[in-house]
Amino acid sequence: MQGLTAAQAAQAKRNIVPRRSSRSFGAIIRANVFTLFNLVIGVLWALILIFGQWQDGLFGLVIVANALIGIVQEWRAKRTLDRLAVINEAPVRVRRDGRDQEIHPQDVVLGDLILLGSGDRLLVDGEVVESDGLEIDESLLTGEADPVHKRPGDRVLSGSFAVAGSGAFVATHVGTDAYAVRLAEEASKFHLAHSELREGIANFIKYVTWLVVPIGALLIYSQLRNSADFGTAITGAVAGIVTMIPEGLVLMTSIAFAVGVVRLGRRKCLVQELPAIEGLARVDVLCLDKTGTLTAGGMDLDEVLPIGDGQGDGQSGRATVDEALAALANLDQRPNATAQAVQVRYPAMPAGWAATASVPFSSARKWSGADFGERGAWLLGAPDVLLDGGDGYERAATLASTGARVLALCRTGDLAAAERGDPDTGVECVALVTLKQRIRPDAHETLGYFARQGVAVKVISGDNPEAVSAIATGLGIPDGHRAVDARTLPEDDPDKLADMLAANTVFGRVTPRQKRQFVGALQSRGHTVAMTGDGVNDVLALKDADLGIAMGAGSPATKAVAQVVLLDNAFATLPHVVGEGRRVLANIERVSNLFLTKTFYAIALSLATGVLGLMFPFAPRHSTLVNALTIGIPAFFLALAPTLERSRPGFVPRVLRFAVPAGVLCAAAMLLSFWAAHSGTSTLNEDRTSAVITLFLTTWWVLILIARPLTWLRVGLVAAMAVLFAGALSIPFVREFFALEPGDISNDLTAVGIAVVASAAITLAISVTVRLAGTLRP
């Protein structure tokens, strides 16, 4: 039990596990450079360089811009996540040269003697050599929620965690040889994983890709048939195909997610999975664990109130109570918060109190105890669990109603029988112990924010319902005075449980299994559930919730399964967390409307020109100019702009209701403008200039509709785009570069008039589709 020597540790195999909190720099480069979009645009760009003019190949710069912006943003997110992942890693307690010390997880070596206490996560495999009531939860490996008692000689696996007692084990497999190393890596992995938002965008892109092939072939055929100049035909066809591809949509989505990670990282909030950003916005029920969330870490011992024999024996009785409390508090080498509060007043183990057997505290039992031989067997825990009526029970209920945390100190005739839960154990209350909990100073303001945002709060605690109710009432939580004792809730009827959760806000005496059931019941009613917690008893619920939020001071196991970790334990960070998620989703929807409006007007234009056998109404350089001013530049700012809009389900239908009518009407207006100009005596460039004016004005109006509500910054953005386009029309060398010839006043005024009418039609069409969708919605 002396552990390895320093010399032995230096020569042993280390627990080296590559950190997977982010992709490697090489993987980031490959993911942003070798994409389907870059391949398609690269081929089209090569065709323009071979058969057209280089000015029409400006759209090829989007390959460089997409890759550089994507690489830079993901690299920033990688650095943030790697830095926060190091902060989030809990040290490991080992014994070397006979001395206990804390070391970094990667410094653990094969053969190390690793010490365990409640809440510690096992990072390597091993064999137990010492157990003092050690219980291991292996649910993350086996799916079984019940903790397993471990005795010397038993095997323990990485990925599990201690829930009660203490002990030690010798590391038998470390690094990549450990059983659950893949689970340990996945806990803080950076990845652009599955989400409703990304799935919707992926579906858009998939269908557009299938449309590009036949429409592109039709467009190429029609342009070749209508033009004696092969280069002009290829240029027109490429203009239509390039415009159909929403090349920046995936980039903007990735940037918005990555920037969200960086922004939250600055607030000491570690987002361990990027899809959690989306989950933040969709949350409508927040389950709070009182201890460590509404209340600050740690407690203070307030009063010790003898009862019965403890009171009747005078000074000797009080001395026995004090000694029993001191003995129980100093029994565990890794005391929990309750024992630490008692230790402040009783810092040393009293003489003559040697334990012959002990039962460590667990959230399922809600008490701990020990047999001290001739001194008797003593229990310390929840009064409503240990007591069944009597003076102690009544006084405990009265004290708990004031908001104090109350424990019962009891004698028992048989510790083993009490552990088995035998009803005839003979538990006698000797004293009540009150502890003062520290309310977080930011709790009231934070709860008010969620109330204003329409997020329902459920306080779920293992404490006495009256105590939980008193704190909830003091914080102004609705219906906080009506606390429900979770022991009265239905165990095997999810519908009734969901009804109780809908009708009530505060719940006490909730077991770890029930917390998990609560999450499932709320989800069954269509809620998106976030769960906060810091203790081992919260792990299963955090794992099942749509969004698990752990406190930085919580147990390593809790932080390992949560998607979000508040590293500085600031409850006030949660509004920023939810706000960041809502900002990302609302802005990505705006950006999607912009890009897909472009896609649909390009599809409509390509079909019309292909079927009617017309020349394509603009060149690639025209598309580059208009798309940059009405989509590319605005999308970048809109994707990162602040917003307080709530996330709503139905992302794909809403985008289609906007983009399809807007895109079709933009195409119709542009085609009409081109046809009106082409029927006169003007040149092809003049005709295309008229069409480009119509296209810019209609898509500029779409940008205004999308940017609503119009803040001063958004008005400035929209106005700046109009000024830039006016500059492109009026500055000679810019006009020449983009092949713009606004010389025919009649055609240009006609183009403006058509754009005004089309803009009004777009506004009306979108309004009608939105109202129609509202009437059809059940």
Is residue 126 over pLDDT 90?
A: yes
In 416-494 the beta strands, taken as DSSP E runs, fall at 428-439, 456-460, 483-485
Give the confidence band of 187 by pLDDT, cuts at 50, 70, 90: very low
pLDDT value, residue 504 = 92
Give the confidence band of 47 by pLDDT, cuts at 50, 70, 90: confident
pLDDT value, residue 557 = 66
Alpha carbons 171 and 173: distance in angstroms, whole number: 6
**Burial status of residue 401 (CB atoms within 10 A of its CB: 0-12, 13-18, 19 or more):** middle
pLDDT value, residue 778 = 37
Alpha carbons 707 and 638: distance in angstroms, whole number: 8
Which element (helix H / strand E) includes 262?
Answer: helix 249-266
Most confident of 207-211, 255-259, 564-568: 564-568
Is residue 313 over pLDDT 70?
A: no
What is the CB neighbour count within 10 angstroms for residue 366? 18
Give the confidence band of 189 by pLDDT, cuts at 50, 70, 90: very low
Q: What b/e readout covers 645-672, taking b as 16+ CB neighbours within 10 angstroms?
A: eebeeebbebbbbbbbbbbbbbbbbbbb
CA-wise closest residue to 353 among 336, 337, 335, 377: 377
Alpha carbons 554 and 9: distance in angstroms, whole number: 29
Overall average pLDDT of the 181-210 stretch: 59
Give the confidence band of 183 by pLDDT, cuts at 50, 70, 90: very low
Task: List all residues 6 or more positions away from 674 whose beta carbon is below 8 Å from its beta carbon.
Answer: 614, 617, 687, 688, 690, 691
Region of poorest pLDDT, from 68-77, 438-447, 660-669: 68-77
pLDDT value, residue 776 = 47
Higher confidence at residue 59 or residue 757? 757
pLDDT value, residue 409 = 94
pLDDT value, residue 247 = 66
Alpha carbons 233 and 225: distance in angstroms, whole number: 8
Which element (helix H / strand E) includes 297?
Answer: strand 295-306
How much is the CA Rg of the chain, to the nearest whole Å?
33
- CA dist list (Å): 322 to 311, 346, 430, 572: 12, 8, 11, 39
- CA dist list (Å): 358 to 131, 260, 365: 11, 48, 13
Overall average pLDDT of the 221-238 stretch: 70
Is residue 222 over pLDDT 50?
A: yes
Output the six-digit token pair for 541: 């619920």
The C-alpha angle with vertex 266 and arms to 261 and 267, in degrees rounded to 5, equals 100
Overall average pLDDT of the 521-539 stretch: 84
Overall average pLDDT of the 111-127 stretch: 88
Alpha carbons 35 and 32: distance in angstroms, whole number: 7
Output the six-digit token pair for 596: 């897909």
Contact (CB, 8 A) for 413 and 442: no
Residues in the chain: 778
Higher confidence at residue 720 or residue 231? 720
pLDDT value, residue 372 = 94
Give the confidence band of 22 by pLDDT, cuts at 50, 70, 90: low
Higher confidence at residue 22 or residue 627? 627
What phi and psi values does residue 378 have, to the nearest 5 degrees?
A: -125, 145
Q: What DSSP string describes 49-109?
A: HHHS-GGGGGGGHHHHHHHHHHHHHHHHHHHHHHHHHHHHPPPEEEEETTEEEEE-GGG-B
Identity at 574, one-letter amino acid code: L
In the chain, DSSP finds a helix count (H) and a strand count (E) of 30, 21
Give the confidence band of 673 by pLDDT, cuts at 50, 70, 90: very high
- CA dist list (Å): 617 to 297, 359, 674, 739: 67, 82, 6, 13
Task: List all residues 6 or more positions away from 754 whose beta carbon is below 8 Å from its beta carbon.
Answer: 669, 672, 673, 676, 694
Per-residue pLDDT tens digits for 323-380:
999 999 998 777 877 888 899 999 999 998 999 998 888 777 889 999 999 899 999 9
Is residue 631 over pLDDT 70?
A: yes
Q: What percent of the chain has pLDDT over 90?
A: 23
Most confident of 362-371, 405-414, 672-681: 405-414
Please state, rounded to an integer, the average pLDDT across all residues of the chain. 81
Paired strand residues for 80: none
Overall average pLDDT of the 35-43 stretch: 72
pLDDT value, residue 19 = 56
Give the confidence band of 169 by pLDDT, cuts at 50, 70, 90: very high
Alpha carbons 45 and 39: distance in angstroms, whole number: 10
Cα 448 to chain centroid distance, Å, stands at 21
What phi and psi values does residue 460 have, to the nearest 5 degrees?
A: -125, 115
Per-residue pLDDT tens digits for 694-724:
999 999 999 999 988 888 989 999 999 999 9
Q: What DSSP string describes 112-177?
A: -EEEEETTPBP-SEEEEEEEEEEEEE-HHHH---S-EE--TT-EE-TT-EEEEEEEEEEEEE-GGG
Task: List all residues 6 or more positions away from 76 whose beta carbon is below 8 Å from its beta carbon.
Answer: 258, 262
Is residue 192 over pLDDT 60?
A: no
Is residue 156 over pLDDT 80?
A: yes
Cis amide prior to 105 (ω within 30 degrees): no
Region of poorest pLDDT, from 220-229, 420-429, 540-549: 220-229
Contact (CB, 8 A) for 639 and 255: yes
Active site residues: 289
pLDDT value, residue 377 = 93
Alpha carbons 425 and 465: distance in angstroms, whole number: 25
Assign 741 to helix, strand or coil.
Answer: coil
Q: What DSSP string describes 596-665?
A: HHHHHHHHHHHHHHHHHTPPPSS-HHHHHHHHIIIIIHHHHHHHH----PPP-S-HHHHHHHHHHHHHHH
